[in-house]
Structure 1
Amino acid sequence: MAWSFHKRIKIIPGVHLNFSKSGISTSIGVKGASMTFGKSGTYLNTSVPLLNISSRHKLSGLNTTPDIYDHVEQIEISENIFSADVHEITSQNMAGIKEAILLAQQQRKELKVDLLKIQAALATSKMKLILSYVLLYGLIYKSISKDIRLNIQAQKEVIKQTTELIGNCFVKLDLEFDPEIREKYDSLVKAFGNLTTSHKIWDVTNAHFQDRVAARSSASTIVSKRDVRFSFRSLVEIRSDFEALYFENANGADLYFYPSFIVMYANKKDFAIIGLDEINIQQSYVRFTETGTVPRDSKVIDKTWAKVNKNGTPDKRFKGNYQIPIAKYGQIKLRTDTGLNEEYEFSNYEFTEAFGQTFRDYQTTVKYR
């Protein structure tokens, strides 16, 4: 009995980025299907080949008590600090990359269904071969057992091919840098590596002003924040020789910084692609009234009292009034016009400052013109 199979179209997408002084050119697709966009516009060329195949966050260290700012300058604060829905944030010129990722995901899903069907067919063929010998007709009519063995061999080969296709269902990110741009990107990666070693990294999720006089406090702003992790980590959907700069997000989708875009990733269906040129990064510092333990890599730049008078002296009406250190923490804010709104603090101010400077330097160099 012949084992039937049919042809299915499969396009495994890829993304090629070319970084030069004239800007970034991007092509999306593989042989037979590609999309190109850059300064001069967007172009689509298709000629689809056929591939023959057989039948087919973790949050950590949540602060349960509010933390306190003591800013040198007044800052603008929103009650809750979080980004818009990821479906609203994708940059217009990054839509092609998002579609490539979705296509790879869909291919993987379909191929996994195929694989299950082929494995079931293989199991059935093996059972038929066993029965042919148990019931003796496979020994009498040798052509029957021969056909079954041929089917088993073909099914095993298709399982191997399908498994390989599943392993290749990802967006291949190929990058070509001008030497000057590569040097700046390497500096950014090094600065980020240092930033990840900060003893404490916090995602600021809420902030509001308080009446310092009424509270008898030196702090003008109360914030809520959570411990998060920064690291080098890449998405399963994207493979590249360059790992992404990973920003954990305590109250939303995590951020993955690639050389020309950011993936804001909640899950396989809910993610956004944001062009690096659209990111507004603000790096500064905060004077933080630290009621807990000062991180080992932070600097104490001043002291205050748990209860203070308007002029900063200790309020003697409160028994057991004690001094509180004021630490200097680094701060990074990320904004876009489409709705990205994230704020982080770091115990190591020097590493924060270095990262902010190298990020802006790299961003300016590769920004679309």
Structure 2
Amino acid sequence: MVEVESGDVFAMRDSAYSEILNEINEKREKPSAALLFGLGFGLLGLLAVAVAGPIGIIIWLLGLGAWAFGAWLDSYQRTVVLFYDLEGDTQAAYEQVIQSFDRMAASHGKWHIEAGGSVQDLTTWKRNAGASHIVKRSPTTLTYALPKAVTCNVTPPSIHVGKQVIYFLPDVAFIDDGRKVGAVSYADLTVQWQPSNFIEEGTVPRDCEIIYRTWKHPNKNGGPDRRFRDNRQLPVCRYEAMHMRSANGVNELVEFSKAGVVAPFVQALKAMPKRAKQHSSLQINASG
């Protein structure tokens, strides 16, 4: 099994976004005023309750106000504000990205492929329903969200890919590992798709195409190996895989149960205007 995993997001840099990335990552490192104030007053209130009784409850309640004040401070001190003024071709292209993303998100089955490998011996082949490749996968989430410490007038589509999340903003893709944020421009992001036949032992998504059935433990001639008691037929489903790569470290594989949904998304990303053209119709303001 070979892992399908992106590199360190800190190495995912783009010169056009270095200033914004530095600001986001610096603000993430700042201590949370809401946590410090709330925790401080909360502990002080508990101590006061033990010593002074009812008066301590008042101090403890003040901790809620302190937490709210800290959250207000965090909204200024620990937040980067991005503003997009979309118009013309850029707006139309981004709408296509969103519409095609919605079709992918509507698939009943969505998985992140963590690792994969080819089957090279007969025993493994028999125990895996005659599969030529085996993969390690887990359900994934497609949603609209922003990275932590970022506020924006656009809430972009995002895909969870294991330990990281990819956010598809109007001009760039942010990659977030929970600690740091990296970026890759659409001009540098390669996205490919292809049909994927998968022998499904779990619940079969109702929107997939079953192309044929195989035995859980087959013989070389394709029939059932009767030495195995639990030898039932399994559906071979036609899924669709999307592979995202970049020279600065992105390497992620996602699979969908419904065929025909990935190609429109890939074409929409390819149709996004190039950076030089974007700057004439797109304004980005970063502050905080």
* Number of the residue aligned with 1:80: 3
CA contact (8 A) 1:181 1:366 kept: no
Do structure 1's residue 94 and structure 2's residue 17 form an aligned pair?
yes
Residue type at the aligned position of 2:91: R
3-state DSSP of counterpart to 1:248: strand
CA shift digits 1:119-167 (9 cap, x unpaired): 99xxxxxxxxxxxxxxxxxxxxxxxxxxxxxxxxxxxxxxx99975542
Query: Could you tell which deviates more after superposition, 211-220 or 229-238?
Result: 211-220
Task: Pick 1 or 2: higher relative contact order, CA cutoff 8 A, min separation 6.
Answer: 2
Distance of 1:207 and 1:198 partners within structure 2: 22
Distance of 2:164 and 2:147 partners within structure 1: 13
Q: Give % identity.
A: 21
Q: What displacement does 1:309 show?
A: 4.1
Q: What displacement does 1:315 show?
A: 4.1
- Of 195, 212, 221 in structure 1, the residue corresponding to residue 133 of structure 2 is 221
Distance of 1:297 and 1:162 partners within structure 2: 47
Q: What displacement does 1:185 show?
A: 0.7
CA shift digits 1:32-61 (9 cap, x unpaired): xxxxxxxxxxxxxxxxxxxxxxxxxxxxxx
* Number of the residue aligned with 1:134: none
For normalisation by structure 1, the TM-score amounts to 0.59
Distance of 1:84 and 1:102 partners within structure 2: 17
* Cα distance change on mapping 1:236 and 1:213 into 2, 3 Å: closer
Distance of 1:266 and 1:79 partners within structure 2: 21
CA contact (8 A) 2:97 2:269 kept: yes
CA shift digits 1:90-110 (9 cap, x unpaired): 23332111122235446x648
Once the two structures are superposed, the pairs formed by residues 176-195 of structure 1 within 5 Å of their partners are: 176-195=85-104
Q: What displacement does 1:246 show?
A: 1.4
Q: What displacement does 1:89 show?
A: 2.1
CA contact (8 A) 1:329 1:349 kept: yes
* Cα distance change on mapping 1:299 and 1:368 into 2, 3 Å: farther
CA contact (8 A) 1:94 1:275 kept: no
Distance of 1:201 and 1:218 partners within structure 2: 23
* Number of the residue aligned with 1:323: 233
* Number of the residue aligned with 1:289: 199
- Of 279, 299, 307 in structure 1, the residue corresponding to residue 217 of structure 2 is 307
- Of 335, 340, 350 in structure 1, the residue corresponding to residue 245 of structure 2 is 335
Distance of 2:247 and 2:145 partners within structure 1: 26
Q: Could you say what the CA RMSD is over the residues aligned between the two structures, in angstroms?
A: 3.1
Q: What displacement does 1:184 show?
A: 1.5
Once the two structures are superposed, the pairs formed by residues 61-80 of structure 1 within 5 Å of their partners are: 79-80=2-3
CA contact (8 A) 1:229 1:248 kept: yes
Distance of 2:203 and 2:69 partners within structure 1: 57
* Cα distance change on mapping 1:162 and 1:297 into 2, 3 Å: closer
* Cα distance change on mapping 1:288 and 1:212 into 2, 3 Å: farther
Gaps of 5+ in 2: 42-67, 278-288
CA shift digits 1:49-97 (9 cap, x unpaired): xxxxxxxxxxxxxxxxxxxxxxxxxxxxx71111112222223332111
3-state DSSP of counterpart to 1:90: coil
* Number of the residue aligned with 1:264: 175
* Number of the residue aligned with 1:205: 114
CA shift digits 1:282-338 (9 cap, x unpaired): 111201111222101111122222233445x31455466432211111111111111
If you compute each CA radius of gyration, which structure gives the higher value, 1 or 2? 1
CA contact (8 A) 2:14 2:184 kept: yes
3-state DSSP of counterpart to 2:247: coil
CA contact (8 A) 1:277 1:368 kept: no
* Number of the residue aligned with 1:238: 150
CA shift digits 1:213-263 (9 cap, x unpaired): 44234311010101111100112422222112111122x222222111222
* Cα distance change on mapping 1:209 and 1:167 into 2, 3 Å: same
For normalisation by structure 2, the TM-score amounts to 0.74
Gaps of 5+ in 1: 1-77, 121-159
Residue type at the aligned position of 2:181: F
3-state DSSP of counterpart to 2:192: strand
